[in-house]
Structure 1
Amino acid sequence: MKLPPLVAHVAVFIGAALVSAFAAASDTRPPAPDPDRYRELVHVVRQDCGSCHGLTLKGGLGPALTVEALADKPAEGLVATIMGGRPGTPMPPFRGIVTEAEAEWIVDQLMRGFPPDAGLPATSSLN
């Protein structure tokens, strides 16, 4: 039995809506670090990454890390770059400085607009 075209289109539409809903439900943000580590990570990105990518993250020796510049980049690739660096370029690996979960959080924040630097907490492990 062949379905009428309207019924087939409605079925495809409902299926696409369900797939989209399940995808959105599984799209979770990386957990935020504790408040002191949050401040440390923001400081590291703004100062250390900013030394090449510009203190406003709009580019310098390295490319811009703005929402617009990262819009078409896959998050997994950016995390891999943070963790492993880019051989043959000045981009160093940050493995050992940040965890993979922290790199995921950094990428998530960069893709949303990175927060301003409030300075290091008094008890920072980076002091």
Structure 2
Amino acid sequence: MPLPAPRRLLLALCWLPVTLLADDSLTAERVQELETLLYQDCGSCHGMTLRGGLGPALPTSRMNAYSQDGLAALILHGIPGTAMPGWKGLLTEEEARWLADHLQNDNPLDE
């Protein structure tokens, strides 16, 4: 039985971490690490260019269906009953917000 659309959308977010823009507390080095996490770790399911793979594509339109806080929460806590893990053990809330903002505003699928 196919999953309902909201559940599928949540599944698509399995790789993301949380909700603020990269502010002064995130170093340039950490921002680079977060970008690497996004394209390699998240990319292992969502495709290295986030165009889909085992998991769905992550275009801006899909990412903007969520609030930044909601998207960050999905990144941190995952989606129970799905392949989307929570990243709370590896990411802070600030880092998850940065990832959410990146997906919503600097998404490579928009280029």
TM-score, shorter chain, exceeding 0.5: yes
Rg (Cα) greater in structure: 1
The count of corresponding residues between Structure 1 and Structure 2 is 88
- Indicate yes or no: 2:97 matched with 1:109: no
Equivalent pair of 2:22/2:31 in contact (CA under 8 Å): no
Q: For structure 1, list consecutive stretches of 5 or more residues without a partner in the other structure.
A: 1-27, 116-127
Equivalent pair of 1:66/1:113 in contact (CA under 8 Å): no
Q: Which residue does 2:73 correspond to in 1?
A: 80
Percent identity, please.
Answer: 44
- Counterpart pick for 1:56 among 14, 26, 49: 49
Q: In 2, Cα distance between the equivalents of 1:66 and 1:114? A: 7
Equivalent pair of 1:83/1:100 in contact (CA under 8 Å): yes
- Counterpart pick for 1:70 among 63, 73, 76: 63
Q: For structure 2, list consecutive stretches of 5 or more residues without a partner in the other structure.
A: 1-19
Equivalent position SS for 2:36: helix
Q: Which residue does 1:40 correspond to in 2?
A: 33
- 1:71 CA drift (Å): 2.4
Q: How much is the aligned-residue C-alpha RMSD, in angstroms?
A: 1.8
State the TM-score, normalized to the length of structure 1: 0.62
State the TM-score, normalized to the length of structure 2: 0.70
- 1:29 CA drift (Å): 3.9
Q: 1:60 to 1:42 in 2, by over 3 A?
A: same
